[in-house]
Structure formats: structure tokens, C-alpha cells
Amino acid sequence: MPIEIVCKIKFAEEDAKPKEKEAGDEQSLLGAARGAAAPRDLATFASTSTLHGLGRACGPGPHGLRRTLWALALLTSLAAFLYQAAGLARGYLTRPHLVAMDPAAPAPVAGFPAVTLCNINRFRHSALSDADIFHLANLTGLPPKDRDGHRAAGLRYPEPDMVDILNRTGHQLADMLKSCNFSGHHCSASNFSVVYTRYGKCYTFNADPQSSLPSRAGGMGSGLEIMLDIQQEEYLPIWRETNETSFEAGIRVQIHSQEEPPYIHQLGFGVSPGFQTFVSCQEQRLTYLPQPWGNCRAESGLREPELQGYSAYSVSACRLRCEKEAVLQRCHCRMVHMPGNETICPPNIYIECADHTLDSLGGGTEGPCFCPTPCNLTRYGKEISMVRIPNRGSARYLARKYNRNETYIRENFLVLDVFFEALTSEAMEQRAAYGLSALLGDLGGQMGLFIGASILTLLEILDYIYEVSWDRLKRVWRRPKTPLRTSTGGISTLGLQELKEQSPCPSRGCAEGGGASGLLPNHHHPPGPRGGLFEDFAC
């Protein structure tokens, strides 16, 4: 005979509320049992990602040869992209640069450069006194004797003044300058400024940066044209050789900007007597890059002179400062052409200090004196040509005009003509050959070519990694207990383990009735709420 069991379930009073609240309570109960929503798995993420090939390699579906081939293609493309990206990064980190040369627009008025000239002979023989010869013996090589040929060992001379000696014994421009014209206008020695260099007393035309002379046209006749007498009869006789002994005859010339001091013993060029020398100039404006592309010296925003004795920074000023520091360290004095207020070296150690200056200075970025190139620089390119003077017809005329013979004219006279080739300037600029925008563009092209990715694709991957990582961290921090009793819809279930725990006779030693009553809840409880989910359960 079949047995039919009828179960009657009576819910508590709280369950008699509206269905909307019941559904909400059920969802909250399920949410409390499950915890937070689980993150997407890899297959789900791969099927929705914008990364090309990831959905076919890792998406949902059976694993097979086709998926394996897609995975190999994806890994190969990713490896090719990483290789190309590494090459692009290495190229960017080398900071390559290029030089762009652009002709500037012609200007109606161009500033004429400064022109410094020095006679190669430092001291005029006729201007040297016995005391000068005595003090300058190590510098000139002349024996320390008086005019009568007697040695001056027993004589006592006052302490020498090197500035006074250079002023008195140097070649005077008023005596050397025979004619001067600038842009068709007459000029004289008063248009030149005295400056001291390694060649002694020198002269600079158009030296004031505040009142620079303009050049209104290009070509010969529109610049500076001077005729000089180098006065070879005043050159010192050579008794013995020193490091300052000169065998040449002529002048040294340097063409530079007004903000740059003359560094004529290294940057000047020679002009020989008996020739007319044409110097065609071209202004060049150079722009260099600072670190990390180049090594130029970026100017400070304060616009204050950072080199003592100079109004602006230049390589020549920096080299002169380094020479001064080397001389001060060795000789505790400075040379005449060096800026500062320190004591000027006496003539007896002058040549020793000069030699030490040249030996102690180094070059490049590792030397004791590193002078970086300024980021903005103006220099003048030169093209030099010359012709013989005087010709046969003019030699006799010049000899009569200056009361000299023709041989003297040929051996001492020279003409220097400095002019602009054209009133245009060349702009040479260093530019970064591979910048950050180019790097990002190339990386984006490689990403699109190999893996079809973009910045948003990378954000998708990072978001997925964050989602998975955060879910695992939350699982580690709080481990929720697994509920034994759940409710789905209107069906209530009771776990077997809980039934055993509620049984009054968990062992087999109980009576049949007790065992039967332990398997199912007792339905003979008095009526009334029990505070649980179920109020009464009867079979």
C-alpha cells in the first residue's frame, strides 16, 4: 500500500507583506549569502575586449586547433610590437637632432660687427727705455743693457707698471692709420677703442654695443676700409727666442660681435703688408639645443652678467675667466688683458704665467675649463681674398704722399676692406629630430598594425586587472561563512546536518519513536511565533 506524505508549511507573519518587499528581502538575503558580485572571468573579458584576436584566442568556446593558432598569432604580434616599441624607445632616448639652415629675410639696415686689429709686434723698439728693457728681458729676449751697452745689474729701477709699458711702447693707431672710410664716410683713430689682448695694445672699431654702426648696403665700399703702416722699423730685434718671439710682420684681425671680447690670439687671422685684403662677411645666427639634445648653455632669466667683468656670456669671456683663475692660482696675479681688480703680474714672471695658462687649460667637457656654447650665438662667416699693392703706378705716388720710399711702402703698407656680402643673415638652428609626439605617433601606429590596440584598450586591460585583484583582496580580508539554510521562492529546505544537530537522539540507542521524532520537527509544539523562518512543520 503506497504511503502519501503531506507537508504543510506555514510562514511567519513577516512573510505576509507585499510581494515587492518579499522579492527585495529575498534578493538581500541571497546577496548576503553570496557576497559581492564576482568579477568577469577571462573568457567574458576576452569576448568584449577591443584588442584584436583576444576574443578568438581566449573567448568562450571549445579549445581546439583553431583557437591555438589564434593564440600563437596573438603572441607573435605582441612580441613584434614589443620589439618595435623597444627600438623606438632607444631611438628617442638618444635625443637625435638635426641642423636646419634657413636664409633670413633681407634687412634694410644691418648692424656692422666689431673689428679688432693688433700689430703682431708688441713693443716698439724706439719707445723702450733702459728700465723697460731691463724689466722685459724675459719677455722680449733682449739683453738687459743700457744705451751705452753696459749691463744694468748694478742699477735700481722702480717697480714696473705693465699697463703703462704697454701704453707707451705699443704701436699707436694714430701713427699706423693712414686712411679710414666707413660706408663712404671718413673715420679716424677716435672711432677705435683701446683693448688689451695677448698681443698687447690693440684697437677695436665699432666696439660699443649701445651705439653700433649700421651698414646700409652690401659689397665693397659699404663697409670698413683702412690703410695701415705696420712700422717694421720699430719691430724688436731678435737676440734669442722666447715663447713670445714673433717672426711675422703684419697685423692680426678678428671680426666678432660687440658682446664678445676679442680672443684674437686664437680666433684672429693675419693680414700681410704689401696686399689689399678683402674680407666678405656673412652674419650667421646660430641656435643650439640645451640638454638633453645638446650641450648649450641656457641663459638665465635674470639677465645679469654671470662672468665678472663682462656684460654677457660668451665662449671667449669664459676662456678668459678660466685663464685668469689659472694665473691667480699659480702666480697670484693677473695679466693685463684679463678682467678684474687683482694685481697685474710683473714682467719678470709674465711669460711664466702665460705658459702656465696654456698648459693648465683643458678642452672638451672633461677639462678644468669647460665653456659651453651659448644657446643663441651670432658669428660672422668670412671669405678672404687679396691682391698686391702698390702697383707700379701708385708706388711712386704713395711714396711722395707719405714721404717714404717705394720699398718702405711695399714692406709696410696694407689695406683692409671688411664688408657684408649682402644684407641678409643665415639662420642655423638645431632642432629635435625625434620628439615625444613623434614617439607616441609611431607607438600608436605599431600598436594598430600588430595588435589593433589603442589607449582605451590599455585602459580596458588595466581595469580588468584591477577588478580581479580587488576581488581577490576582498576574499582574503573577509571570508564569509557558507549558509546551511537557503530559501528559494516559496520552498524551504533544511540541511541534513542541521537535522542531525536538532535531533534529540543523535545516536542509534534511542527508541524508534524518539528516532522518528528526531528526524522530523515535532508538530505538537504550542502555537505561537518562534522567531525563525518557519512557524510550524507537520507531515
The CATH number of the domain holding residue 186 is 2.60.470.10
Query: Residue 361 pLDDT more than 70?
Result: no
Is there a single domain that holds both residue 285 and residue 319?
Answer: yes
Is there a single domain that holds both residue 403 and residue 332?
Answer: yes
**Of the listed ranges 36-45, 119-128, 181-190, 490-499, the one predicted with least confidence:** 490-499
Is there a single domain that holds both residue 410 and residue 295?
Answer: yes
Query: Does some domain include residue 510?
Result: no
- β-pairing verdict for 413-432 and 224-229: antiparallel
Say what the pLDDT of residue 517 is.
Answer: 42
**Of the listed ranges 33-42, 85-94, 196-205, 269-278, the one predicted with least confidence:** 33-42
User: Of 382, 407, 431, at which residue does a domain stop?
Assistant: 431
pLDDT tens readout for residues 175-185:
999 999 999 89
Query: Residue 525 pLDDT more than 70?
Result: no
Say what the pLDDT of residue 466 is.
Answer: 85
Report the percentage of the chain scoring pLDDT > 70: 70
Q: Which of 462, 461, 468 is nearest to 38 (CA)?
A: 468
User: Of 431, 454, 484, at which residue does a domain stop?
Assistant: 431
Report the percentage of the chain scoring pLDDT > 90: 24
Mean pLDDT value of segment 192-212: 92
Query: Residue 376 pLDDT more than 70?
Result: yes
Of 202 and 221, the one with more pLDDT:
202
Mean pLDDT value of segment 412-440: 84
Report the distance separating Cα 252 and Cα 264, nearest Å. 7
Place of cell 689682448: 197
Fill in the DSSP letter of residue 292.
T
Query: Does some domain include residue 378?
Result: yes
Is there a single domain that holds both residue 366 and residue 444?
Answer: no
**Of the listed ranges 83-87, 163-167, 260-264, the one predicted with least confidence:** 83-87
Query: Does some domain include residue 487?
Result: no
Say what the pLDDT of residue 440 is.
Answer: 81
Report the distance separating Cα 525 and Cα 539, nearest Å. 14
| Dihedral angle sign, alpha carbons of residues 151, 153, 154, 156 | positive
Query: Residue 534 pLDDT more than 80?
Result: no
Is there a single domain that holds both residue 453 and residue 391?
Answer: no
* Pair 313, 297: CB distance under 8 Å: yes
| Dihedral angle sign, alpha carbons of residues 255, 256, 262, 264 | negative
pLDDT tens readout for residues 473-518:
888 887 655 555 544 444 444 444 544 455 544 444 444 444 444 4
Query: Residue 156 pLDDT more than 50?
Result: yes
Say what the pLDDT of residue 482 is.
Answer: 57
Q: Provide the CATH number for the domain around residue 89.
A: 1.10.287.770
Of 87 and 246, the one with more pLDDT:
87
Which pLDDT band, with edges at 50, 70 and 90, does 3 fall under? low
Mean pLDDT value of segment 113-142: 87
**Long-range contacts of 506-514, Cβ-Cβ distance < 8 Å, separation of 24 or more:** none
Is there a single domain that holds both residue 366 and residue 439?
Answer: no
Retrieve residue 226's grid coordinates: 683702412
Query: Does some domain include residue 106?
Result: no
Query: Does some domain include residue 523?
Result: no
Say what the pLDDT of residue 97 is.
Answer: 64
Which pLDDT band, with edges at 50, 70 and 90, does 38 fall under? low
Is there a single domain that holds both residue 343 and residue 387?
Answer: yes
Query: Does some domain include residue 249?
Result: no
**Of the listed ranges 121-125, 211-215, 271-275, the one predicted with least confidence:** 211-215
Which pLDDT band, with edges at 50, 70 and 90, does 278 fall under? very high
Q: Round the average pLDDT of the chain to a whole number and report it.
A: 76
Mean pLDDT value of segment 299-313: 63
Domain that holds residue 403: 114-121+172-194+202-230+254-431
Task: Give the CA angle between residues 317, 140, 330 to the nearest 5°.
Answer: 45
**Of the listed ranges 52-61, 147-156, 270-279, 303-312, the one predicted with least confidence:** 147-156
Name the 3-class secondary structure at 69. Answer: helix
Which pLDDT band, with edges at 50, 70 and 90, does 436 fall under? confident
Name the most confidently modeled range: 110-124, 147-161, 448-462.
110-124
Is there a single domain that holds both residue 450 and residue 464?
Answer: yes
**Of the listed ranges 144-153, 308-317, 506-515, the one predicted with least confidence:** 506-515
Q: Count CB neighbours of 193 within 10 A.
A: 14
**Of the listed ranges 217-221, 265-269, 435-439, the one predicted with least confidence:** 435-439
Query: Does some domain include residue 155?
Result: no
Of 82 and 300, the one with more pLDDT:
82
Which pLDDT band, with edges at 50, 70 and 90, does 2 fall under? low
> What is the total count of domains within the chain?
2
Query: Does some domain include residue 413?
Result: yes
Is there a single domain that holds both residue 91 and residue 208?
Answer: no
Which pLDDT band, with edges at 50, 70 and 90, does 4 fall under? low
Is there a single domain that holds both residue 452 and residue 378?
Answer: no
* Pair 487, 29: CB distance under 8 Å: yes
Which pLDDT band, with edges at 50, 70 and 90, does 243 fall under? low
Say what the pLDDT of residue 387 is.
Answer: 94
Is there a single domain that holds both residue 439 and residue 387?
Answer: no
Is there a single domain that holds both residue 86 and residue 183?
Answer: no
Say what the pLDDT of residue 175 is.
Answer: 94
User: Of 470, 492, 526, at which residue does a domain stop?
Assistant: 470
> Cα separations (Å) of 406 from 357, 390, 392, 505?
43, 9, 9, 147
Strand partners, 8: 538
Say what the pLDDT of residue 70 is.
Answer: 79
Query: Residue 420 pLDDT more than 80?
Result: yes
Query: Residue 186 pLDDT more than 90?
Result: yes
